[in-house]
Amino acid sequence: MNRRKDSVSGQTDVAVALRYDGRNAPKVTAKGERLLAQQMIEAAEQAGVPLYPDPELAVILSQIPLGEEIPDNLYKAIAEIIAFAYIIAGKVPEGFIPPDEVDPVDKDVSARGSD
């Protein structure tokens, strides 16, 4: 097995797993340090779960209690990770319309804002 030492946190000493159901805010479902982090990374790799290397974010997320939703101030960072995971998996969110398929009239109205 070709193991990447920087799979989740830039190092294998911290790992955090998130669950996102597409409706509610993502939740912390697992977290670990050192050996447990390494085991989490290995299990994720074997299961084909996308891994995102961000050491600082992993440390911040590891402070959230298990089962808790991520706080509002982390939404943008986590949204980028979810988008990354979707792209890696070749998926798109339910109801997603690619920008090149949006009706030009709709684009014009939404871009105008208020007069």
Torsion of CA 80, 60, 26, 14, to 10 degrees: 90
Q: Is the pTM of this model over 0.85?
A: no
pLDDT number for residue 114: 47
What does each of the 115 residues of the chain score in pLDDT, given as a tens digit? 333 344 444 455 899 999 988 888 999 999 999 999 999 999 999 998 888 888 889 999 999 999 999 999 998 889 888 888 888 777 776 776 766 655 555 544 444 444 4
pLDDT number for residue 3: 38
Maximal C-alpha separation, the chain: 60
Give the domains, in start order, of the chain with CATH numbers: 14-112 (3.40.1690.10)
Residue 8, SS3 per DSSP? coil
